[in-house]
Structure 1
Amino acid sequence: MTDDLMKSSGSGDAGNSTHADEQRLYPKVRFRGFDEPWKKVKLGRNVKRIRRKNKNLETNIPLTISAQFGLVDQRDFFGRVVASENLANYILLKRGEFAYNKSYSKEAPYGSIKRLEKYNEGALSTLYIAFTPENINSDFLKAFFDTTKWYSHIVQVSTEGARNHGLLNISPQDFFEMSITIPKSDEQNNISRIYNLMNSLLSLQQRKLELISALEKGLGQIIKQQNNKYGITFSLNNFLEIPPQIQARIKNKNQLLTVKLNLQGLARGVQRDTLSLGSTKYFIRHTGELIFGKQNIFNGSIALITKEFDGLATSNDVPSLKISNINPQFLFYLLKNPDFWKHTELIATGTGSKRVHIHDLLKLHIKIIPDAKYQAKIVSLSRNFEKIVLNQQIIVKECEKTKQFLLQNLFI
């Protein structure tokens, strides 16, 4: 990719433009061999508005715009069937044609413009405006509509709805009068190819992550079945006990420990700016201890303390328990299953903010296969899967960052 792309400085803009307005007609990054400035044109001169009426009342799919999935079957999202007589007033949209929503959220403008790709044709409500590219590469236009530059343009010409607070409106006239900056067709084709390749790569890596995650989930189900079949029932007080409580001298919030929700692990410090350090007693927590939030264990606030968090402190609302007579990682593997931590809400007590107290938690029963070698193998296998999933998540994020870089720098 780096061999084919180059910075425009020193090639496209050097010697070809002297004014600031002309300077803006060169993208920051472009393919080698292209040095001509881009041209500013009216969108309406490169696309044609579609007004054709839908005539296939029995067969055409009523479409809606989904920011995530594009133009999709309206019934998939709203669970209702649109009466066939209403479809007669709809626009007929064909594969490869675009539609945009005249009203969109100013908090999430992305996804207001989509191209029909899933179906050969469909019926589109007149709440949307449909158009088809003319004299411009369709994939190039789709990529441009995916950029932050485009949405900064569209927000500028939109008006806030008088009745629908939080929504921005753009009229068809303003939409088609908007200016866009485009290169010649050969460069449009190159940008389209790299955009499509990047999307294909990202989709492939996301699919790979889904499959790996499914395998990890399948492993968990197998272990759960084995545990239920061959495990012996124990109460948690066979493996967990309250360690000596050593009070901590807290000078700053960095000495405190937070247990995140939804099994998201641990974090140093606290999120509350209003926390008064002198008003609460804190106790030191150590590596290998099981820690949980009394108010949120049933929301996944449970973790195993690792070395990097050793010696940090929490209040008695976030107690820790010493683990013995079992592989600590294996026990945590069982306890971090939603079947366990969601179940703890049944033993929570309190009238306002419900809490799971230690003595009630320790009375809970759990099935465990006591064989140490088996426990070690399960821990090793689960760690390997966690690493694979984490690595794949990193790959997906890097692909997303690369795509955003291209969208930000290949367009004007």
Structure 2
Amino acid sequence: MNLPLLTISARYGWMTQQSRFSASIAGREKKNYTLLKKHQLSYNHGNSKVANYGTVYELTDYDEALVPKVYHSFSLTSENSSKFIESYFHTKKLDAQLRKFIASTARMDGLLNISFDDFMKVKLFAPERCEQSKISRIINLIEKLITLQQRKLEQLKQLKKAMLQYLLTTEKKSAPLIRNKNYNNKWDTTTFSKLLNYERPENYIVTNTNYRKNGIPVLTANKSFILGYTNESNVYNKGEAIIFDDFTLENKFVNFPFMIKSSAIKILTSKVNYSLYFIFQLLQHTKFIKEGHARHYISVVQKQTVRIPPSYEEQESISDTFSRIQSLIKLQQNKIDQYTTLKKYLLQKIFI
């Protein structure tokens, strides 16, 4: 059958195999797949940090699709709403029952081996169809708002990416594609070693990693950024800095007092007459060649040739543009977080 081949991601719900695995893994005859129709549901009795005891998802984006037989797929009687049941499982209020079934079975191939018969024994509280539908509409509305806000966030990130291409330049070009009309000088060719000072991190490494809920933030250069908080006193408090991971080349701009956890972090500050936030954007824009699990700042980054406006004012003007876009990105992320928190709150309060 020429139908979409779907898989469940605990974090993102239904995904095509192509988008999740970059290929179809079903096999030519699709023997281990079953037909799922719109508004039917599947329970993926998998095990992940997002859903320890599996997740249930309703098929909404396709009229029909093929899904793995290892999922427990089912439809509902006319008295029940598919969205209501899906949302019920996402509250985790049924995990205690699922845990009991897992305790009496074995884990198989990374899956929690809950049989279909055991899954059908799960008890839940459901109001009449009319109330289920009203609850489902509320959840659907919030999910649509979250999706819209996520699209806006992606658009802002794409805008920033485009502006990096238009407002900065490479060593082969003397000026960027877009430029303030007040500046017309060619950009200088230089290296990061001439733009930045670096400091080793030993004086600012936190000794106690049992973090607090408030105090001085403990930072990392990767996506998590703030690991927690501490009340230790050996704080970096010298103004703006870039924290740079010597192994991964990840970096973050910091303008508040902080401490760090890893000795792999280098603390970078600008030399005189250079805008640190502009240099931070250069770091984001520059493609470095990694040398395996090696320390990169001295061997790779410092030697990298880049171009920079000779005028500090032009550097600051470009920095201001990126700062404004970054502020919009942060505001947009806050909106998503607020809607997500609202959804979690409602899921806990609406369901028994």
Q: How high is the TM-score relative to the length of structure 2?
A: 0.76
**Superposition pairs for residues 5-44 of structure 1, below 5 Å?**
none
Q: Is the 8 A contact 2:47 2:112 kept in 1?
A: yes
Structure showing greater Rg: 1
Q: Which amino acid aligns with 1:129?
A: H
Q: Which amino acid aligns with 2:327?
A: K
The structure-2 alpha-carbon separation of the partners of 1:139 and 1:400, relative to structure 1 and needing over 3 Å to count, comes to same
The structure-2 alpha-carbon separation of the partners of 1:97 and 1:375, relative to structure 1 and needing over 3 Å to count, comes to same
Q: Is the 8 A contact 1:98 1:115 kept in 2?
A: yes
Deviation, structure 1 residue 234: 1.2
Distance, in Å, in 1 between the alignment partners of 2:84 and 2:277 is 51
Distance, in Å, in 2 between the alignment partners of 1:198 and 1:373 is 44
Deviation, structure 1 residue 314: 10
**Superposition pairs for residues 289-328 of structure 1, below 5 Å?**
289=241, 292-293=244-245, 295-296=246-247, 298-300=248-250, 302-304=251-253, 306-309=255-258, 318=266, 320-328=268-276
| One of 29, 34, 40 as aligned partner of 1:97 | 40
How big is each residue's C-alpha offset from its partner over 1:299-345, in whole Å with a ceiling of 9 and x where there is no partner? 31x455535349x9998974554521222322222124352xx44x4
Deviation, structure 1 residue 160: 6.2
Distance, in Å, in 2 between the alignment partners of 1:133 and 1:116 is 12
Distance, in Å, in 1 between the alignment partners of 2:25 and 2:198 is 58
Secondary structure of 1:308's partner?
Answer: coil
Q: Is the 8 A contact 1:70 1:111 kept in 2?
A: no
**Superposition pairs for residues 41-52 of structure 1, below 5 Å?**
none
1:190 aligns with 134
1:335 aligns with 283
Q: Which amino acid aligns with 1:61?
A: P
2:184 aligns with none
The structure-2 alpha-carbon separation of the partners of 1:160 and 1:233, relative to structure 1 and needing over 3 Å to count, comes to farther
Structure 2 gaps of 5+ residues are 176-186
Identity %: 26
Paired residue total: 330
Deviation, structure 1 residue 125: 3.6
1:145 aligns with 89
1:261 aligns with 221
2:312 aligns with 372
The structure-2 alpha-carbon separation of the partners of 1:408 and 1:259, relative to structure 1 and needing over 3 Å to count, comes to closer
1:34 aligns with none
Distance, in Å, in 2 between the alignment partners of 1:378 and 1:263 is 25
Q: Which amino acid aligns with 2:238?
A: H
| One of 196, 217, 221 as aligned partner of 2:161 | 217
Deviation, structure 1 residue 395: 0.7
Q: Is the 8 A contact 1:66 1:111 kept in 2?
A: no
The structure-2 alpha-carbon separation of the partners of 1:289 and 1:215, relative to structure 1 and needing over 3 Å to count, comes to closer
Secondary structure of 2:189's partner?
Answer: strand
Residue 334 of structure 2 corresponds to residue 390 of structure 1: no
Structure 1 gaps of 5+ residues are 1-56, 271-276
1:155 aligns with 99
The structure-2 alpha-carbon separation of the partners of 1:354 and 1:65, relative to structure 1 and needing over 3 Å to count, comes to closer
Secondary structure of 1:261's partner?
Answer: coil
The structure-2 alpha-carbon separation of the partners of 1:369 and 1:149, relative to structure 1 and needing over 3 Å to count, comes to same
The structure-2 alpha-carbon separation of the partners of 1:75 and 1:332, relative to structure 1 and needing over 3 Å to count, comes to closer
Q: Is the 8 A contact 2:106 2:113 kept in 1?
A: no
Secondary structure of 1:366's partner?
Answer: strand
Q: Is the 8 A contact 2:55 2:89 kept in 1?
A: no
The structure-2 alpha-carbon separation of the partners of 1:201 and 1:77, relative to structure 1 and needing over 3 Å to count, comes to closer
Distance, in Å, in 1 between the alignment partners of 2:121 and 2:341 is 32
**Superposition pairs for residues 242-261 of structure 1, below 5 Å?**
260-261=220-221
Distance, in Å, in 1 between the alignment partners of 2:73 and 2:38 is 12
1:287 aligns with 239
Q: Which amino acid aligns with 2:221?
A: L
1:23 aligns with none
Q: Is the 8 A contact 1:64 1:124 kept in 2?
A: yes
1:200 aligns with 144
2:179 aligns with none
| One of 233, 258, 274 as aligned partner of 2:189 | 233
Residue 294 of structure 2 corresponds to residue 354 of structure 1: yes
RMSD: 4.0
**Superposition pairs for residues 121-136 of structure 1, below 5 Å?**
121-134=64-77, 135-136=79-80
Distance, in Å, in 2 between the alignment partners of 1:63 and 1:307 is 46
Deviation, structure 1 residue 205: 1.1
